[in-house]
């Protein structure tokens, strides 16, 4: 009888120790990307992506897929949120349940993340934010961020406007905003609003959101064109909305681009956006680099070694003027 009690006691002790060790090693390994879920030696990365709303987004997703491939030692679990924050929150909770080694989040908007990021932190899973930023009072809720300086991109655009369109004469501006509350929309809008305060001759005659999509961009621009017979500048917060706006202008016989009445400023500098610039349809295109996969992987490699990489890192970007862009510029592009 005593022997039986001893055997039962020892097995309970062994089980307790094993489960404690597993939890500790998960938390410890979470910073080293250990194999925590039967995926062999692969490091499991859960990626909550905004959606597939634009060419930029597709390039961003592809960069993550190419980087976090099995041949590179990773298993990528990609979840597309169709631009809904509720789906992203559900995805993060699913990654926690699956005990992934790392979570990557491309947040659709800036607000509303503290609770679910706290859950990931409590689970000991490092969370890396890419592309847009979140608005939080607690920077410890995420490990690192990789993305663009959207305000700076907008300032590059308005400096081009001042230099090439002048700030001493009336400019009637149509402003197509991206997904409201996203860092890209906030930064690009702030830059234009600051320029408006410095250039009283500029007037934003129409402003609406096209949610970064071509279809919504066309719908919004068609409405604006019918209300405003003269639009000197379209300040468009991404290429896909610009493509939609161009469709609307074509249908209403309005001209645009280098030789047209409405000058188009766009953001992203996707291959299609730069093709439009090369064709003289988009006057100026400010790059927003989607190739963030390698930067995220570099962060994970540091974390695996127990190092603490830079909290914020910005991707490299440039801009393109239709009057100087060449076919060679386009051929060199990776997306």
Among 31, 43, 54, 99, binds ligand GZL (CB under 6 A): 54
Phi-psi region of 99 (alpha: psi -120 to 50; beta: other; left: phi over 0): left
Residue with smaller CB distance to ligand GZL, 255 or 318: 318
Least Å distance, CB 277 to ligand GZL, is 16
Nearest to 298 by CA among 34, 141, 77, 102: 102
Asked if 57 interacts with ligand GZL (CB under 6 A), we say yes
Tokens 């005990």 sit at which residue? 99
Residue with smaller CB distance to ligand GZL, 33 or 293: 293
Helices 293-304, 55-67: crossing angle, 10 deg rounding = 40
Residue with smaller CB distance to ligand GZL, 57 or 175: 57
Helices 239-251, 214-227: crossing angle, 10 deg rounding = 50
Applying the rule CB under 6 A, the residues between 257 and 276 that interact with ligand GZL are: 267-268
Among 288, 296, 303, 322, binds ligand GZL (CB under 6 A): 288
- Binding marks (x or -) toward ligand GZL, 141..180, rule CB under 6 A? -------x--------------------------------
Asked if 132 interacts with ligand GZL (CB under 6 A), we say yes
What's the burial of 318, exposed, middle or buried (CB within 10 Å: 0-12/13-18/19+)?
exposed
Least Å distance, CB 19 to ligand GZL, is 41
Among 42, 44, 56, 128, binds ligand GZL (CB under 6 A): 56
Applying the rule CB under 6 A, the residues between 207 and 226 that interact with ligand GZL are: 212
Nearest to 277 by CA among 216, 324, 240: 324
Which of these ranges, 52-60, 135-143, 191-199, 201-209, lies near ligand GZL under the rule CB under 6 A?
Answer: 52-60
Measured CA distances, 88 to 58, 93, 262, 264, 290 (Å):
17, 9, 38, 33, 19
Token representation of residue 128: 């890396």
Least Å distance, CB 307 to ligand GZL, is 27
């Amino acid at each position: 009888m005593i022997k039986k009690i001893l055997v039962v006691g020892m097995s309970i002790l062994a089980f307790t120790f094993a489960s404690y060790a597993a939890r500790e090693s998960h938390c410890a390994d979470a910073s080293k990307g250990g194999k925590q879920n039967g995926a062999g030696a692969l490091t499991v990365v859960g990626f909550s992506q905004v959606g597939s709303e634009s060419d930029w987004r597709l390039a961003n997703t592809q960069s993550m897929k190419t980087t976090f491939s099995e041949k590179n030692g990773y298993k990528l679990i990609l979840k597309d949120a169709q631009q809904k924050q509720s789906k992203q929150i559900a995805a993060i909770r699913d990654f926690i349940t699956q005990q992934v080694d790392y979570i990557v989040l491309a947040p659709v908007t800036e607000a509303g993340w503290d609770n679910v990021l706290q859950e990931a932190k409590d689970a000991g899973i490092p969370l890396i934010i890419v592309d847009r930023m979140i608005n939080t009072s607690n920077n410890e809720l995420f490990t690192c961020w990789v993305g663009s300086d959207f305000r700076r991109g907008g300032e590059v655009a308005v400096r081009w406007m001042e230099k090439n369109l002048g700030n001493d004469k009336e400019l009637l501006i149509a402003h197509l905003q991206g997904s409201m509350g996203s860092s890209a929309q906030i930064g690009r809008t702030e830059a234009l609003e600051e320029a408006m305060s410095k250039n009283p001759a500029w007037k934003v005659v129409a402003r609406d959101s096209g949610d970064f999509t071509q279809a919504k961009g066309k719908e919004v621009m068609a409405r604006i064109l019918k209300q405003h017979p003269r639009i000197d500048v379209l300040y468009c917060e991404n290429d896909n909305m610009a493509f939609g706006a161009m469709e609307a202008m074509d249908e209403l016989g309005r001209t645009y681009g280098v030789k047209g009445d409405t000058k188009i400023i766009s953001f992203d500098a996707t291959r299609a956006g730069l093709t439009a610039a090369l064709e003289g349809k988009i006057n100026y295109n400010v790059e927003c680099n989607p190739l963030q996969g390698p930067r995220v992987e570099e962060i994970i490699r540091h974390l695996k070694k127990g190092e603490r990489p830079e909290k914020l890192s910005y991707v490299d970007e440039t801009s393109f003027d239709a009057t100087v862009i060449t076919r060679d510029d386009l051929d060199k592009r990776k997306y």
